[in-house]
Amino acid sequence: MPQKKRTSKTTAGIISLGCPRNQLDSEVIAGLLKENGFTIVDLSAGADVCVVNTCAFIRSAREESVEAILEAVELKKKGKVGCLVVCGCLPQLYKEKLALELEEADLVIGTSDFPKLPQLLDSMHKGGVRSVVSSKPDYLYNEKSPRIIFTPDHYTYLKISEGCSNFCSYCIISRLRGAFRSRSIKSVAEEIRRLSGPGKLKELNLIGQDTTLFGVDRYGKPMLGGLLRKICGLDNSVEWIRILYTHPAHYTKELISVIRNEDKICKYLDLPIQHISDHILKKMNRRVTKSDILNLIERLRKNIPGIVLRTSIITGFPGESDKDFDELVKFLRDTRFERLGAFVYSQEEGTKAAKFNNQIPEKVKRHRLDVLMEEQKRISLDINKRYLNKTLDVLIDEKCADEKDKFMGRTRGDAPEVDGMVYVTGKGVKVGQIYKVKIKDTLEYDLVGDKI
């Protein structure tokens, strides 16, 4: 139950780090605080409460989180911030240790504990607890959870599940987020009805740690296909539905059929494969083989005309030989993914892979990453050339600063924040609307065109 509304003006600012899944948690935190009488403000003007929602997925994310915390500590020392709250993945990873070492933080809470934040703030002011981190995260927001959307009005993220039970050998998500758990189809549909109510929402991005497993815990089988049919049938302003964070081991015939047949679903799939060598896939505990991946890609491209595939790969995994790496490069060259993100392996304490022999030197990992990205740059440029003189639907995200009639947008084949842009020239263009754009130039990752 919400606390009694505050009569005094109490302000709160939020620093959100990490992926869209974490950002959505930050949106719920903001909603909870507002519901309990706080005014959400930009921290540049100062705030009574500063919340740093951290990411701890890999070492670089933890370093970024620590930097953000230290910046918030400086704000507190200068009197611009009254109370410092550190929450999310970093506290979940280090638990009581973080609270002990971070004396400047007034409150430290884990990934499942932020719904208690308003009450904890009240308790803290009365000399109560400083650290609350559940040992087994089990929180899952629903359609009744308040949210303050951080994205522009025309697109948003919607989390359909939380946690992960895949246990990839390099990953700590299960420690940070707990076991896999799905929302109900009814809950997701009700939230979409609420979000699309004002009529401005054009694009919905479905997220989770493994969206393809949606429903398996609740309904006894994967139900992403059923969920998609349900939300495609809703009467609202949404024109694009995008599926992110799928797992190649969990695709079904029903899912592929629904993606092909429903017009609202973007013919775009985020399909992280991580590697292609059977030797490495087995050590990663990815539960698929090279043959499985090749067959799935063939099925997707055969059954979903015009499909745009995005993947993520990891190089430098322990024991990755020159042969394994060459196999990966050849696979990328032959498969020609339209979108790709590549990362070097990060040795994470507490994972099985961290204890594997034959850890790859950092210099070798970085070199291999450079090779992969150069290869993908050539592939992407070549793929983009096929759009020259074609007309595409483009959703306008923002106006170019200081340039008249210049805008930036995305096609159905580009997810927010991670993929390329379309630079659009045209009069009367409005942010948040979809226009026909004729492509007149192509770049390595972006397109250039004129509104028709």
* pLDDT > 70 in the chain, percent: 97
Q: What are phi and psi of 229, to 5 degrees?
A: -60, -40
Asked if 122 and 111 sit in the same domain, the reply is: yes
pLDDT of residue 435: 97
pLDDT of residue 37: 92
| Residue 2 forms part of a structural domain | no
pLDDT of residue 283: 97
- Boundary residue ending a domain (66, 98, 132): 132
For 201-238, how does the pLDDT look when each residue is reduced to its tens digit (9 = 90+)?
A: 999 999 999 999 999 999 999 999 999 999 999 999 99
Asked if 428 and 356 sit in the same domain, the reply is: no
CATH number at residue 202: 3.80.30.20
| Residue 404 forms part of a structural domain | yes
Give the Cα separation of 248 and 441 in Å (integer). 34
| Residue 360 forms part of a structural domain | yes
Asked if 302 and 354 sit in the same domain, the reply is: yes
| Residue 118 forms part of a structural domain | yes
| Over residues 364-370, mean pLDDT | 97
Asked if 343 and 447 sit in the same domain, the reply is: no
Beta bridge partners of 54: 88
* pLDDT > 90 in the chain, percent: 88
Element containing residue 315 per DSSP (H, E):
strand 308-315
Asked if 58 and 116 sit in the same domain, the reply is: yes
The helix/strand/coil state of 449 is strand
Asked if 339 and 425 sit in the same domain, the reply is: no
Asked if 218 and 360 sit in the same domain, the reply is: yes
| Over residues 314-319, mean pLDDT | 97
Give the Cβ contact number of residue 60 at 10 Å: 12
Q: Does the pLDDT at position 10 exceed 80? A: yes
pLDDT of residue 5: 45
pLDDT of residue 225: 97
**Helices and strands of the chain, counted as H and E runs:** 14, 19
Asked if 101 and 191 sit in the same domain, the reply is: no
- Side-chain half-sphere CA neighbours of 31 within 13 A: 17
Nearest residue to 167 (alpha-carbon basis) of 287, 28, 268: 287
Asked if 346 and 256 sit in the same domain, the reply is: yes
CATH number at residue 428: 2.40.50.140
How confident is residue 4, by pLDDT bands cut at 50, 70 and 90? Answer: very low
How confident is residue 379, by pLDDT bands cut at 50, 70 and 90? Answer: very high
How confident is residue 128, by pLDDT bands cut at 50, 70 and 90? Answer: low
Asked if 161 and 184 sit in the same domain, the reply is: yes
pLDDT of residue 7: 40
Token pair 């670089």 is found at 60
Beta bridge partners of 51: 14, 85
**Six-digit token string for 144:** 């009744």
Q: Does the pLDDT at position 3 exceed 50? A: no
| Residue 139 forms part of a structural domain | no
| Residue 148 forms part of a structural domain | no
Q: How far is CA 249 from CA 5, 110, 284, 422, in A?
A: 48, 30, 13, 32
For 251-303, how does the pLDDT look when each residue is reduced to its tens digit (9 = 90+)?
A: 999 999 999 999 999 999 999 999 999 999 999 999 999 999 999 999 999 99
| Over residues 314-322, mean pLDDT | 97
- Boundary residue ending a domain (385, 406, 430): 385
| Residue 144 forms part of a structural domain | no
- Boundary residue ending a domain (360, 385, 410): 385
Segment among 67-71, 118-122, 153-157, 440-444 with least mean pLDDT: 118-122
pLDDT of residue 198: 79
pLDDT of residue 9: 61
| Residue 230 forms part of a structural domain | yes
For 390-438, how does the pLDDT look when each residue is reduced to its tens digit (9 = 90+)?
A: 999 999 999 998 889 999 999 999 999 999 999 999 999 999 999 999 9
Residue 320 DSSP code: -
Give the Cα separation of 434 and 62 in Å (integer). 38
| The total number of structural domains that make up the chain | 3
Beta bridge partners of 308: 268
The helix/strand/coil state of 247 is coil
Give the Cα separation of 188 and 13 in Å (integer). 28
Question: Hey, CA dihedral for 245, 248, 250, 253, is it positive or negative?
Answer: positive
Per the CB < 8 A criterion, the answer to whether 335 and 320 are in contact is no
Give the Cβ contact number of residue 441 at 10 Å: 12
Domain span holding position 171: 155-385
pLDDT of residue 56: 92
Whole-number mean pLDDT of the chain?
A: 93
- Side-chain half-sphere CA neighbours of 141 within 13 A: 26
